[in-house]
Amino acid sequence: MNRVKIYSTGICPICDKTKTLLKKWNIGFDEARIDLDRELLKEMLEVTEHARMVPQITIDGKWIGGFTELTEMHMEDELDELMNV
């Protein structure tokens, strides 16, 4: 099980971009397809305080936001610090 989890759907281009970036950065992740599993949708809503858009990303179970927040963390070296813990 990876530390990063991405809540996504099969028709979300930003979800695909997020997964591509994580692979480029050599960060493993688990994908939770909320369009295929209602329980994962319920889980995402609970974890993200009812976010309505994907992707939504958690690290170690803590919600960090979406693609924008992930890239901001990377640009500010916060992602490296967090993943090196």
Give per-residue pLDDT as tens, 14-44. Answer: 999 999 999 998 899 999 999 999 999 999 9
Task: Find the CATH number of the domain harbouring 29.
Answer: 3.40.30.10
Domain range spanning residue 44? 4-83
Q: Kindly state the tokens that stand for 42.
A: 């319920």
What is the pTM (predicted TM-score) of this model? Answer: 0.92
pLDDT at 37: 97
DSSP secondary structure string for all residues of 12-30: -HHHHHHHHHHHHTT--EE
**Domain count along the chain:** 1
